[in-house]
Amino acid sequence: MNRRLASLAMIALALAPAAAQASSKAEGEKKKKGGNQTYIEMDAVTATIIRPDGHRGVLMVETGIDTPNMAFHDKAMLVLPRLRAAYAQTVQIYGAGLAPGLPPNVDYLSRELQRQTDETLGMKGARFLLGSVMVN
């Protein structure tokens, strides 16, 4: 019995540094990836499209917002779910009408997503930032 207890204790001691390292990595992932205090990084927005071969594909748009000051930043953080929903709806409608084989019109997407940003926040001032637009 003592051998079992001793071997369990040795295993626990051996795994303790790995658990501590995993915990510190999880805390590090919660930190902001880049930008300054006024930048809000958002998840990519996706939409289903039809590829030239007739199969379904994915249109992926990476987004972000730059706010002029911290008060505006705090308001944007409060309505972030509404912003994501507005962006998703805009990209999905655009993706549904995208002709197979044509590249997406990045200028149009940027303009429409900026309009959604202004409408959702209720005022102008925040800049919509377009990361990348990919079609798979």
pTM, rounded to two decimals: 0.72
What's the pLDDT band for 13 if we cut at 50, 70, 90?
Answer: low
Q: pLDDT: is 1 or 114 the higher one?
A: 114
Residue 49 has pLDDT above 60, yes or no: yes
Q: How far is CA 86 from the centre of its chain?
A: 14
Residue 60 has pLDDT above 90, yes or no: yes
What tens digit of pLDDT does each residue of 71-119 get? 889 989 999 999 999 999 999 999 999 999 889 999 999 999 999 999 9
Q: What is the mean pLDDT of the chain?
A: 83
Q: Which phi and psi (to 5°) does residue 121 adopt? A: -75, -20
State whether residue 126 is helix, strand or coil.
Answer: coil
Crossing angle between the packed helical segments 70-78 and 80-97, to the nearest 10 degrees: 70
Percentage of the chain exceeding pLDDT 70: 74
Crossing angle between the packed helical segments 70-78 and 106-121, to the nearest 10 degrees: 90
pLDDT value, residue 105: 94
pLDDT value, residue 6: 63
